[in-house]
A and B are shown apart, each in its own frame.
Chain A
Amino acid sequence: MLINKRAQGWGTDLIIGFIIFILAILFFYNYSFNYSNETEEIIELLSYKGDYIGDSIMSEGTPIDWSEGNVQKIGILTENKINQTKLEEFYNLVQTDYNSTKVIFNTKYDYYFFLTNPMNIGGGQVDGIGKPGVTKDTINATNLLRITRFTIYENKPVTAYIYVFE
């Protein structure tokens, strides 16, 4: 008898412990799955779009000597340096029709491009190029991603930033 009781006791313990363990594992997977929530998806998307916009801007563009009228891809470099003409074209394009540039960049998110050094556009200095009405210090966004790149502007190595946000 004593031997039988012991067998029953051990079996119950094992079942209870196993159930607790399985419940916990299920809980953990549920937690992990929910961790990739909507916010993260947005960040991933912003990152993807930011990389795309950054790569585009840090290129020579299409066509190589593009202008406001024929641009297919906005890029501001020539021979790895910022081309002042293309920079001003980009600036003018944004000023003229910001949303069209978002179409060219194939993004629904807003963006803002600026350098560590002020950009000289049309004889004056501008803070950056992107969503009208904002500066790099006044962006008010729910989600924002910053892309950092290096390039050459006016024969100086500079850091370029692209903010992508919504």
Chain B
Amino acid sequence: MKKKGIFFSTDALIALIIIILVLIVTVPMTFYSNIKTEVHSDLMIVLSTLTVGEIDTPQIRSMISSGEITNPNNTIIEQIGIFYVTNKTKAKIIADEVISNLDVNENIGIWFENQMITSKNTTPFENASNIQIERQVISGLIQGNSTTGFAARAYLSSDVQTDFFYFGGYVGDGNLSTIVSYNGSIISAELELAINNNFSVFVNGINIGNFSSSASDVIPSKYNLSTNNFQSGDNLIEIKGKNLYISGGFVKIIYMGFSENFDTQYKFPGINGLINLYDGFYNENLNSLDIFLKLNTSYEVFLNIGNKTVYKNYTNGEESINIGNSYLSSILNYQEISNKTIPIRLGISNSSYISNFSLNVHTFSVTDLSGSMADSCNGGSFWCCLSSGNFCSTQSTCNSCGGTWEQKITLAKQANNAFIDGILNSSGNKVGLAGYKTTASNNDFHNLSTNNISLKAEVNSWTASGRTCICCGINKGVQGINFESGAGVLEALVVMSDGEATDQCSQQGTGNAKTDAIQAACDAYLDHNIKVYTVGFGSDADENTLQQIADCGNGTYYYGDTSEIVELYETIAEDILKASFSEQTINITGTFNETIIYPESHINITSSSSSIIPSGVVLTLEKIFDNSTTGTFSIPENSTVLSAKVVSYSGSKWTNNLKLNGINIYNLSQYGSTYTSLGDPYVIDLPLQYIQQNNIIELNTALSPTNISAGSSYNKIIYKIQKNSSSYSSISPYFDGCTWTIEFEDNTNATIKIPADYNGSSVCYYTSSMQAYDSNDAMQEAVYKLLKVLDLNSNNKLDIKLTEGNLQITSNEISGIPFVWSTEAQIRIWT
């Protein structure tokens, strides 16, 4: 018991000792933690009172004499503040000059915002347990002193204009020209064309370069033009070459000056060769039309507006023809064609004047002769076939065992024979044959020929065996067509298969039999302009691959069961023949007299609507389609749409239908089903009332109202918006400039000195990977803010290509007003 008492008393003593020790330790800490001093307040007063001109040290004298300190009347704290935003090293030098002279026991330091300028201490601030702070906001208002700041305004020069001069949906054939008009000083000129042959460009009669054809008639190329020979006013741009045609394109110029409203006049392109124009024009609230044509044609020329022929005649040499409004209004229903893009067609009406007006067809039938194509029994009883003696390899045993006798190779031969007859039914056409198995051998090949007996003999010799090398068949067909390549010929392959591709081609080398087959079709069309039609034969056909082959070969995919394959081949033959007559391209062999339309020709369009006179800066934006059928574009916030157009690279087809946000804007079939007599606008205007913040365009092309296909993925939307494109800096300590690296929406970069004569070392960035500028430089800040405005989708890439010439900067030096970077200076002491 006693032991227990002692034990507990000891516990109490230990607990008490612990409490006392804790108190002994904490009481002095509490006692000493409350430091009491006025030195930080005094130092702030000293720094706010003493001017740099008064503090007579060699270092500061040197700074004043060298101009680093521009105003000796600045207080020390102001001067530290100025250096804080311009050169922190100098700020520390000044602060050290002051603080080093002070005899102080406390830890003391000078801070601006949260950055320490200098300190005099024995223990680091990070270890401080007690801090006292004297604060003061630094601005030019300190004790009535004033300082000097700068403000800058950056804006796009409102007299920088971008204008487009469009060619039609199809402009041919021969030497082509247009008139480019502007008033001012040209900055740049560019051609974007889908053009069939190499060409030379002449500006005002002077050759400024030779250029290559575009990749295809639906894939345009861009060509930069020298501006040396351009002049303010009218400029004749001539595009010369052999049998040229343009299936869409424009001349784009950027110039300093003022823009005229060209929308009230449609200008015909100049054509010297064979007049063959498919185009269109837009009108709004049409009041009147009058047409001026300057022609020189010994052949009868017709001009159709919509589906109405408004002119049909030939000329006796060079003639000017005026077609007045009274006549036009009697033919055309203005109300019907108002507020629309109207197709116009200018061509030679009687082709009998010209030899061989239509296209011949050279086509190869590329047929699957693999083992699966053999005539065979489908679905017969296994045991029955086993006991039949020939494994159901004849129609009679197959049928007796309950199977269906499929005559694939037999039907394929019949289909090929029908195809041969169909194509050779028109004189001048030729058919070739290429059967393929594991390879495409000459044993199953027949050259292009008009001899249907020889061709059918080859077909009837075919047997089925081996695997399925579709690319081999395509390559063999291309080889056969190219062996006898001829101008003015529609070239096509009809590729049939009943299964999946199994064998690859080193010529394509994609490493996969199916993609080799697709690539072979792409090569055929892109390299040789040979269209590839495909036929899936039977239920085992690889329809996906065959569809892709047809897509890349600019053809059509057809599917046929065994019961309908013969009729299907007849249909394909008809479609190919129709295409040869329906496309816009006219190919001439033999001699003919040149026909000319001069580029002064035009249509004056008078509307009752008042045109918008844009105030502020007008920006022209281009947005390429998302794919071959759909384009999207958005209107930036705080902007007004002035115009919006879709340009369509329809190649030798017609732009058939366009919808804006689901609303039908353009439908060619409303003017008729014979498209060769209708125009084909390259530019389709979008009525402003249907344009929303975010917009979807759907577009297709066609050879006829029922033969519809996708357009070009190179189609684009060109729209003009009015936007407040200026920005102001805040009042800043200095006004210097920078060398800017700017990234544009097309992922190109430009390095631009702003201002143009800037020769300093500052570098600034407005790119997707870096945004950097000095906010204390008024000019840099103003430019940065302007670039933000011009970054319409806020992805740190500019939507508008800038040049130094575009960007204008003005500055105002503001004296007697504090610059507004007001910051808090602090004197801190700590223990």
Interface residues of A (CB under 8 A from B): 5-6, 8-10, 12-14, 16-18, 20-21, 24-25, 28, 32, 35, 47, 51, 54-55, 58, 79-81, 116, 148-152, 155-159
9 examples of A-B residue contacts, CB within 8 angstroms: A5-B1, A10-B4, A16-B5, A20-B12, A20-B13, A148-B37, A150-B43, A151-B42, A157-B102
Residues in A whose Cβ lies below 8 Å from that of B55: 155-157
The answer for the CA separation of A25 and B19 in the assembled complex, in Å, is 9
Residues of B near A28 (CB, < 8 A) are 20, 23
- A23 vs chain B, min Cβ distance (A): 9
From 1 to 52 in chain B, residues with beta carbon under 8 angstroms from any chain A beta carbon are 1-2, 4-5, 7-9, 11-13, 15-16, 20, 23, 27, 36-39, 42-43, 45-46, 48-50
When the two chains form their complex, are residues B49 and A152 in contact, meaning their CB atoms are under 8 A apart?
yes
The residues in B between 86 and 116 inclusive whose CB is less than 8 angstroms from any CB of A are 98, 101-106
User: Please, which residues of chain B bring their CB within 8 A of the CB of A24?
Assistant: 16, 20
Chain B residues in 8 Å Cβ range of A152: 46, 49-50
Does B263 belong to the interface (CB within 8 Å)? no
Closest-by-CB residue of B relative to A47 is: B36
**Contact A155:B54 (CB < 8 A) given known A54-B38, A80-B45, A116-B103:** yes
Residues of chain A within 8 A (CB-CB) of B637 are: none
CB contacts (< 8 Å) of B5 on chain A: these are 9, 12-13, 16
A127 to B54, CA, bound (A): 25
Known: A16-B5, A32-B27, A156-B101. A149 touches B38 (CB 8 A): yes
**At the interface, yes or no: B56 with Cβ under 8 Å from chain A?**
yes
**Contact A148:B104 (CB < 8 A) given known A6-B1, A157-B98:** yes
- In the assembled complex, the Cα of A82 lies from the Cα of B4 at a distance in Å of 75
Among B38, B42, B43, B105, the most chain A Cβ lie within 10 Å of the Cβ of: B42
Docked pose: A20 CA to B9 CA in angstroms: 8
**CA A16 – CA B54 in complex, angstroms?**
76
Most buried by A among B37, B38, B48: B38
Inter-chain contacts of B23 with A (CB < 8 A): 28, 32
Q: Which has the most chain B C-beta neighbours within 10 Å: A6, A18, A152?
A: A152
Which listed residue (B9, B16, B98) contacts A13, Cβ 8 A?
A: B9
When distances are taken between beta carbons in the complex, the residues of chain A under 8 Å from B8 are 10, 13-14, 16-17
Q: Which 5 A-B pairs have the closest CB atoms?
A: A17-B12, A150-B42, A13-B8, A9-B1, A80-B49
Chain B residue contacts of A80, Cβ below 8 A: 45-46, 48-49
B21 to A: closest C-beta gap in Å: 11
Chain B proximity of A156: nearest CB distance (Å): 7
Are A155 and B9 interface neighbours, CB within 8 A? no
The residue of chain A having its C-beta at the shortest distance from the C-beta of B56 within the complex is: A155
Contacts of B54 in A (CB 8 A): 155
B50 touches A157 (CB 8 A): yes
Within 8 Å CB of B12, what residues of A?
16-18, 20-21
Interchain CA distance A116-B103 in the complex, whole Å = 7
A37 to chain B, nearest CB (A): 13
**Complex CA distance for A13 and B8, rounded to whole angstroms:** 6
Q: Give 19 A-B pairs besides A148-B104, A155-B50 with Cβ atoms closer than 8 angstroms.
A: A8-B1, A13-B7, A20-B12, A21-B12, A21-B15, A32-B23, A35-B27, A47-B36, A55-B38, A80-B48, A81-B50, A148-B39, A148-B105, A149-B39, A150-B46, A150-B104, A155-B54, A155-B56, A157-B102
Point out the residues of chain A lying under 8 angstroms from B103, CB to CB: 116, 148, 159
Across the interface, do A159 and B102 meet the contact criterion of CB distance under 8 Å?
yes
Do the beta carbons of B42 and A149 come within 8 Å of each other? yes
A-B pairs with beta carbons under 8 A, tally: 97
Determine the main DSSP class of A at the interface with B: helix
Contacts of A10 in B (CB 8 A): 4, 8
Known: A155-B55, A156-B101. A16 touches B9 (CB 8 A): yes
> Could you tell me the distance in whole angstroms from the C-beta of A135 to the nearest C-beta in chain B?
17
CB distance from A148 to the nearest CB of B (A): 6
A32 to B104, CA, bound (A): 32
The complex places the Cα of A157 from the Cα of B106 at a distance, in Å, of: 17
Interface SS of chain B = helix
Residues of B close to A9: CB separation below 8 A: 1-2, 4-5
Q: How far is the CA of A69 from the CA of B34 in the complex (A)?
A: 40
Q: In the assembled complex, how far is the CB of residue A83 from the closest CB belonging to chain B, in whole angstroms?
A: 13
Q: Cβ of B49 and Cβ of A158 under 8 Å apart?
A: no
By a CB distance below 8 angstroms, the chain B residues around A5 are: 1
Whole-angstrom distance from the CB of B532 to the nearest CB of chain A? Answer: 90
Could you tell me the distance between the alpha carbons of A51 and B592 in the complex, rounded to whole angstroms? Answer: 115
Q: How far apart are B45's CB and chain A's nearest CB, in angstroms?
A: 5
**A81 contacts B49, C-beta separation under 8 Å:** yes
Which residues of the partner chain B approach A25 to less than 8 Å between Cβ atoms?
A: 16
Cβ–Cβ contact B42 & A158, under 8 A: no
Q: Which residues of A contact B56 (CB under 8 A)?
A: 155-156
Report the minimum CB–CB distance from B831 to chain A (whole Å): 14
Which of these, B4, B36, B37, B104, contacts A159 with CB under 8 Å?
Answer: B104
Q: How far is the CB of B246 from chain A (nearest CB, A)?
A: 81
User: Which of B1, B27, B46, B105 touches A151 (beta carbons < 8 Å)?
Assistant: B46
Q: Is the CB of A157 within 8 A of B101?
A: yes
A120 to chain B, nearest CB (A): 16
Are A58's CB and B4's CB within 8 A? no
Which residues of the other chain, B, contact A21 by a CB distance below 8 angstroms?
12, 15-16
Bound CA span A86–B106, Å: 29
- Give the complex CA separation of A151 and B41 in angstroms: 10
Mask: chain B, 65-105; 1 = CB below 8 Å from A; 0 = not: 00000000000000000000000000000000010011111
Q: Smallest CB–CB gap between B51 and chain A, Å?
A: 9
Contacts of B43 in A (CB 8 A): 150, 157
> With A and B bound together, what is the CA distance between A24 and B102 in angstroms?
49
Q: B residues 193-210 with Cβ under 8 Å of A? A: none
> A55's closest neighbor in chain B, by CB?
B38
- Residue in A13, A51, A155, A158 whose CB lies within 8 Å of B4: A13
Q: Which of A20, A58, A81, A150 contacts B16 (CB 8 A)?
A: A20
Residues of chain A contacted by B39 (CB below 8 angstroms):
148-150
A13: chain B residues at CB < 8 Å are: 4-5, 7-9
CA distance A152 to B101 in the complex (A): 11
* Contact between chains at A158 and B101 (CB < 8 Å): yes
Name which residue of chain A comes closest to B45, CB basis.
Answer: A80
Name the distance in Å between A116's Cβ and chain B's nearest Cβ.
Answer: 5
In this complex, what residue of A is CB-closest to B27? A32
* A151: chain B residues within 8 A (beta carbon): 42, 45-46
Chain B, Cβ-Cβ closest to A149: B42
Q: Which residues of A contact B15 (CB under 8 A)?
A: 21
Q: What's the least CB distance linking B142 to chain A, in Å?
A: 13
- Least CB distance from A84 to B in Å reads 15
Digit string of B284-317 for contact with A (CB within 8 Å is 1, else 0)?
A: 0000000000000000000000000000000000
CA distance A17 to B16 in the complex (A): 10
Q: Smallest CB–CB gap between B277 and chain A, Å?
A: 87
Q: Quote the shortest CB–CB distance from B38 to chain A (angstroms).
A: 6
Q: Are B20 and A17 in contact (CB under 8 A)?
A: no
State which of B2, B9, B98, B105 has its C-beta within 8 Å of the C-beta of A17.
Answer: B9
Residues of A contacting B98 in the complex (Cβ-Cβ under 8 angstroms)? 157
| Chain A: minimal CB distance from B273 (Å) | 91
A142 to B55, CA, bound (A): 40
Name which residue of chain A comes closest to B100, CB basis. A157
A150, B20: Cβ atoms under 8 Å? no
> Shortest distance in angstroms between B168's beta carbon and chain A's nearest beta carbon?
82
Closest-by-CB residue of A relative to B23 is: A28
Across-interface contacts of A32 in B (CB, < 8 A) = 23, 27
Minimum CB–CB distance for A20 against chain B, Å: 5
**A79 touching B49 by the CB < 8 A rule?**
yes
A2 to chain B, nearest CB (A): 10
Distance A80 CA – B41 CA, assembled complex (angstroms)? 12
Q: How far is the CA of A10 from the CA of B326 in the complex (A)?
A: 128
A79 and B2 alpha carbons, distance in the complex (Å):
80
Contacts of A17 in B (CB 8 A): 8-9, 11-12
Q: Who on chain B is nearest to A5 by CB?
A: B1
CA A13 to CA B56, docked complex, whole Å: 78
Q: In the bound complex, how far is the Cα of B7 from the Cα of A10, in angstroms?
A: 11
